[in-house]
Amino acid sequence: MALYETTFVVRQEASQQDADKLAEGFTKTLSELGGKVIKKEYWGLRSLAYLIQKNRKGHYIHLCIDAPAEALNELERKYRLSEEVIRFLTVRVEEASKGPSVVMKQQSAA
């Protein structure tokens, strides 16, 4: 299996609990298809660089996952089908980071 990092943005009208429920659903999908979530981070409600579907802000959630390609394809399909997810990005990485991401370090320093 390969290691991936994926970040998705949930529209601003959703609450943090709604965003967490979405992340749990995506995690369940991955586990059903043989993948697992190594790390999950909620980056908070952040401003977007430009309007996306009339949204100025979005809830950012970052996942580090270890999954086969089929599970990743299904995850991205679910991102596209969800009306709550307005953007997502998935990249393959060589190794999963153990500590907090740069965004989390900046939030704790502020």
Residue 102, helix vs strand vs coil = helix
pTM above 0.95, yes or no: no
Q: How confident is the model at residue 110 (pLDDT cuts 50, 70, 90)?
A: low
Does some domain include residue 88? yes
Does some domain include residue 36? yes
Does some domain include residue 108? no
**Domain residues for 24?**
2-94
Does some domain include residue 75? yes
Does some domain include residue 22? yes
- How do residues 36-65 score in pLDDT, each as one tens digit? 999 999 999 999 999 998 999 999 999 999
Indicate the number of domains in the chain.
Answer: 1
CATH number of the domain encompassing residue 52? 3.30.70.60
Spatial separation of the C-alpha atoms in residues 10 and 19, rounded to whole Å: 6
Q: Which tokens go with 51?
A: 């309007």
Does some domain include residue 110? no
